[in-house]
Structure 1
């Protein structure tokens, strides 16, 4: 997930530029290495379009939380310059010959309250993430099938103490895996794998991670203010183990839902960066402060198959094909986004033998075709015995999201007899409704969590934590299971299994309606140096950022 999920994870391209094919400008916002000293006031002023639902790493599911958890908390490893994996709390690690035991040696580090960061903090956090009494959405999703006994723990069949993680001593963490996971080091950068100070978490109870005084940091920055609905302030964490490489003293973040407002604040000097929507791109495209990138995250329409209409495959295929994706990407967005015809983004993973991009191989599995869409819709109505249909379309209440939802309504209502009721709600409420499956149609964004095709493909297994569509396919489940077990050490065959699974998911079963691969257009002040794009979950890395020449 950057669930919008972020990544999210967010996300987290997947966010490794070297593998995703993003241009270097998309990963480094400056040609500087970020280590220069500057006499300028080291304060960065930026905005977010949504409030943070929670900063609890066990409970966070959205890219906003992922962004600021990455800025305030170091895991075993973290993303650094040019989206390279660099040491966090782990100084080093060793892997057993069979690939199932990872032993991490931890550095001397402190929490922002002065407590030492120890191996016990990772054990507590990871157990908490899979504890069914806690109810983490990402915990089972990220740990099950990866860390030994995670699935049995998350379903209540085993106590949390049986999870395959233990502190050998304060500075040695041992992790037992269910099977070899080649990308496990990348996984440890993800939000759900971050450590937690048990005493602090339990002291704050239900209020943990919901206000600045109920947060603890061990990363480059720490929260000093957090005003609900308005924004938050981060300051340099003087207890950070690598504080010598942190140049910014403060980051001021305002919640600004409307891009027009954000642009005005940028022009007045109140913000140092702003995203742009289509109506602003032409105006600013010639500015040296303007840039665009294509991200490895997707927007698609989720369809709840527990709804009688959407349980019909022909109805879903009609919805897939009635929306003009070119207009969405090139007219409504006009920010580097591109139409997409599958659940795997372009320039993300390539065939291990031919080197061809996944998206290029499978092509457009759900092409825009209004005439064909109307044929599918007519078949669906005949099969369902209906002439008039009403469906609710859930989306966020922010400016560009509201415009997108309004456009989808118009496109979908080309299907004879279909009425779309738009439901624009705050981001946090949309996440809740998705989790509870309280929707019929939904605009949804997914960001990769790690650099592997599985981060997009295992979303749709039966009863998967992030499925939330009611889709259940024994054939699809077997393909994903085979890819991650029998074929785990056979890269080419594994890739072929994922290709086959995507065809089943999109072309045959029409589980989602893929719309576009996200792009981003922005204005950024030239005095901002040393910021880097993070492919996993969070959007930016601020550890090495600084102000020069303001």
Structure 2
């Protein structure tokens, strides 16, 4: 066994803050250390193994803690694990857990808590959309357990003792430690889950091991969290209370921010230039690892017949003027996108994609030609419906695309719904075209590309390609997976199971007295425990 302490194994700079909030020289703390921020939609679940959305993940990082956390620039720092060892063949990880980690009820956090959570994630009985994450991590027997072919006890994870966790993977995976910051890998308290069943995540029942405890959760209204005195690093935690308010309307949220009711909110589409000029110390636009697309339903039984024609799918994609969307509609520094993986992803090499280099006039001409070949046009329009969840930005983009497609002979009906209904319909293939976005779970291209494999838990459009599957499986054992990732992107461009639209920036208003917001972390994984307010 080669002992690799965290500082060497993960390339961590010792100059960076290692733990919870580190007050910087010259900063004087404010008396008020409460933090209130806006989330777009209701948080569907407080269960780390069930949650699937980005806002929910932010709350999971406060209520629970995994093996590792991320620092202000995305580097790994200790969580429950203080270090790990990696076997000579690079397939066995031995994690050493701190002996002072506790659950919010005072129970010690042990290796068995991680074993229970990971088995629970992979167990078909849990029906987690993130069960496939165990497969992506290449945990031994994960695929067989998820498929119900082997019992959960054969998953390649075990507690050597209370403070030693052993994980076996099927092949070397250099970015494996990066994957451990994802909420689906966080521990849960077995006796609490079993005592309360589906109610274990309710305020008053939920027992976490994070820096905060859940005090109140009114679905679709607010989540209130307060400091957890049992957290191992509570002495360095400064924010006393964090409140997430669900506000569907970006403009209403901005009004409440300007009135002092919120410390952080998204900038409504098209308003960043004005706000940046008026409030330069509060308006922020930084890269974020997310891609925005329109997903096509290719399900054999439920998908519309027209979308089974690749030329129709290409026509729809080509006709979208991405420059108008990012420059005229959004105006927040977003980048037009012609592929799936975010361009800033660590180690990703952008492939050559033919239509990305065309002029929009050429794309539009080709779109009309392909649609005509498929039998559609102004004299015989194609009728389609787009589902999107409530958001002013999603609505503006949908209206723009409706106009783009009308010009090539497509009548698009816009179907707005709340987030839970939208995601439920996607998961059941009850849609024709759906607004979708994916934010990376870790900073490596496979977090995007694995989504469109046949075995993915999030391939809601049911794109199926044996060649694509093989590339992604081969990439797991390739010394350099970048060329395989390029090929995979080229298959997506050729088959067009979705229309890529833009790549995200995090465009937000943040009160100037807030610190520790992790804006230089591409994943935009922030931790309330790292934040604090300074005196004016």
Partner of 2:4: none
* 8 Å CA contact retained: 1:145, 1:151: no
Q: In the aligned structure 1, how far is the partner of 2:55 from the partner of 2:137?
A: 27
- Counterpart of 1:309 in 2: which secondary structure? helix
**Residues 1:58 and 1:455: Cα distance change in structure 2 (over 3 Å):** same
Partner of 1:311: 308
Is 1:401 matched up with 2:394?
yes
Shift of residue 324, structure 1, vs aligned partner: 0.7
User: May I ask how many residue pairs the two structures share in their alignment?
Assistant: 508
Q: In the aligned structure 1, how far is the partner of 2:181 from the partner of 2:223?
A: 24
Partner of 1:161: 153
Q: In the aligned structure 2, how far is the partner of 1:114 from the partner of 1:139?
A: 29
Please show how residues 264-303 of structure 1 align to structure 2 within 5 Å. Answer: 264-286=255-277, 287=279, 288-303=281-296
* 8 Å CA contact retained: 1:123, 1:167: yes
Shift of residue 314, structure 1, vs aligned partner: 0.5
**Residues 1:360 and 1:277: Cα distance change in structure 2 (over 3 Å):** farther
- Counterpart of 2:271 in 1: which secondary structure? helix
Shift of residue 474, structure 1, vs aligned partner: 1.8
Partner of 1:12: none
Partner of 2:514: 528
**Residues 1:183 and 1:71: Cα distance change in structure 2 (over 3 Å):** same
Provide Cα deviations, 1:3-35, integer angstroms capped at 9, x if missing partner: xxxxxxxxxxxxx9x9xxxxx9xxxxx996499
* 8 Å CA contact retained: 2:285, 2:505: yes
Shift of residue 395, structure 1, vs aligned partner: 0.5
Partner of 2:488: 501
Q: In the aligned structure 2, how far is the partner of 1:371 from the partner of 1:480?
A: 34
Partner of 2:497: 511
Q: In the aligned structure 2, how far is the partner of 1:127 from the partner of 1:538?
A: 28
Is 1:433 matched up with 2:433?
no
Q: In the aligned structure 2, how far is the partner of 1:228 from the partner of 1:452?
A: 33
* 8 Å CA contact retained: 1:297, 1:345: yes
Partner of 1:98: 89
Partner of 2:130: 138
- Counterpart of 2:402 in 1: which secondary structure? helix
Partner of 1:380: 374
Provide Cα deviations, 1:363-387, integer angstroms capped at 9, x if missing partner: 76486411111111111227x9x93
Partner of 2:526: 540
* 8 Å CA contact retained: 1:305, 1:311: yes
Shift of residue 131, structure 1, vs aligned partner: 0.5
Shift of residue 278, structure 1, vs aligned partner: 3.3
Q: In the aligned structure 2, how far is the partner of 1:255 from the partner of 1:125?
A: 28
The Cα RMSD (Å) is: 2.4
Is 1:40 matched up with 2:31?
yes
Shift of residue 80, structure 1, vs aligned partner: 2.2
Provide Cα deviations, 1:338-370, integer angstroms capped at 9, x if missing partner: 1011012112233xxxxxx62375576486411
Partner of 2:248: 257
Partner of 1:333: 330
* 8 Å CA contact retained: 1:532, 1:542: no
- Counterpart of 1:358 in 2: which secondary structure? coil
**Residues 1:120 and 1:31: Cα distance change in structure 2 (over 3 Å):** closer
Provide Cα deviations, 1:203-222, integer angstroms capped at 9, x if missing partner: 1212232x322322211112
Shift of residue 283, structure 1, vs aligned partner: 2.4
Q: 2:60 aligns with which of 69, 83, 89?
A: 69
**Residues 1:219 and 1:253: Cα distance change in structure 2 (over 3 Å):** same
Q: In the aligned structure 2, how far is the partner of 1:472 from the partner of 1:75?
A: 33
* 8 Å CA contact retained: 1:302, 1:469: yes
Q: In the aligned structure 2, how far is the partner of 1:33 from the partner of 1:436?
A: 49
* 8 Å CA contact retained: 1:289, 1:523: yes
Partner of 2:3: none
Question: TM-score if structure 1 supplies the norm length?
Answer: 0.87
Partner of 1:52: 43
Compare 310-319 and 495-504 and name the one that shifted more.
495-504
Q: In the aligned structure 2, how far is the partner of 1:103 from the partner of 1:33?
A: 34
Partner of 2:339: 342
Partner of 1:324: 321
Please show how residues 135-214 of structure 1 align to structure 2 within 5 Å. Answer: 135-144=127-136, 146-209=138-201, 211-214=202-205
Q: In the aligned structure 2, how far is the partner of 1:160 from the partner of 1:115?
A: 25
Shift of residue 170, structure 1, vs aligned partner: 1.1
Question: TM-score if structure 2 supplies the norm length?
Answer: 0.90
- Counterpart of 1:138 in 2: which secondary structure? coil
- Counterpart of 2:529 in 1: which secondary structure? coil
* 8 Å CA contact retained: 1:94, 1:103: yes
Task: Could you tell me which runs of 5 or more consecutive residues in structure 1 were left unpaired when the two chains were aligned.
Answer: 1-15, 19-23, 25-29, 351-356
Provide Cα deviations, 1:365-415, integer angstroms capped at 9, x if missing partner: 486411111111111227x9x934321101011222222222222222222
Q: In the aligned structure 1, how far is the partner of 2:335 from the partner of 2:181?
A: 28
Partner of 2:7: none
Shift of residue 274, structure 1, vs aligned partner: 2.2
Q: In the aligned structure 1, how far is the partner of 2:522 from the partner of 2:457?
A: 19
Partner of 1:227: 218
- Answer 1 or 2: higher relative contact order, Cα 8 Å, separation at least 6: 1
Partner of 2:461: 469
**Residues 1:293 and 1:536: Cα distance change in structure 2 (over 3 Å):** closer
Is 1:121 matched up with 2:108?
no
Partner of 1:8: none
- Counterpart of 1:147 in 2: which secondary structure? coil
- Counterpart of 1:278 in 2: which secondary structure? coil
Q: 1:371 aligns with which of 365, 368, 372?
A: 365
Q: In the aligned structure 2, how far is the partner of 1:251 from the partner of 1:31?
A: 18
* 8 Å CA contact retained: 2:257, 2:263: yes
Shift of residue 43, structure 1, vs aligned partner: 0.8
